[in-house]
Amino acid sequence: MKKRKELQSEQLEALSEKIASNFFSLDLGNVRYLHIYYPIPGKHEIDSLFISERIRLHYKQIQLILPKSDLVSCTLKHIRWDDSTPLSMNAWGITEPLSGEEVPVGKIDLIVIPLLACDVDGNRLGYGKGFYDRFLSTCRPDALKVGLSYFEPLSTIIPHESHDVRLDACVTPEKVWNFTRPAQPEPDNDPNE
């Protein structure tokens, strides 16, 4: 957080633009529902609006989804986000939909994830409230989990537990880091069931 806060506003914008440019090297051909966050003012987050604006202009087949926080249960609802979606800032300063069509988690193909840092194994460090940990644990195994970071991944120093969901990729100003996805278990096709 300290390293991020040391960046000047011009640097933040330039780095966010580079990250957005690199983001579009990902294969979005099969993406129909893309979950993205709205940057929190004052937190020096990557400006994800560079990505969402380009999606709206050039990827008409992709529907954007914004999270809506339940600040009591620390869970997220997933609301379809278009030009008519009313937005408002919640008690934590997060811009989110006031209302709108809720999208089932199972429809989401790609999740753009805010983070403080990640490591070379795809483990991420968030803000500590567990909103995204809870959300990611309910996503389809094949849904792409993509972090955005101003900085390159660290060596394996991010603490993690067996239930933590790893990133599939992290987009930085320099490049897209692809992390090896663990093999999914074969479905049990027992004919006796």
Q: Does 125 appear as a known binding residue?
A: yes
What's CA 64's distance to the chain center, in Å? 12
Is 81 within 8 Å of 64 (Cβ atoms)?
Answer: yes
Contacts of 9 (CB under 8 A, 6+ apart): none
Q: Does 130 appear as a known binding residue?
A: yes
Q: Does 129 appear as a known binding residue?
A: yes
Six token digits for residue 142: 């094949």
Is 27 within 8 Å of 185 (Cβ atoms)?
Answer: no
Q: Does 124 appear as a known binding residue?
A: yes
SS3 9: helix
118 strand-pairing partners: 124
End-to-end CA distance of the chain: 52
Q: Does 127 appear as a known binding residue?
A: yes
Pick from 155, 96, 94: nearest CA to 123: 155
Q: Kindly report the length of the chain.
A: 193
Q: Does 4 appear as a known binding residue?
A: no
Q: Which residues are annotated as a binding site for ATP?
A: 124-132
Q: Which residues are annotated as a binding site for substrate?
A: 45
Q: Which residues are annotated as a binding site?
A: 45, 124-132
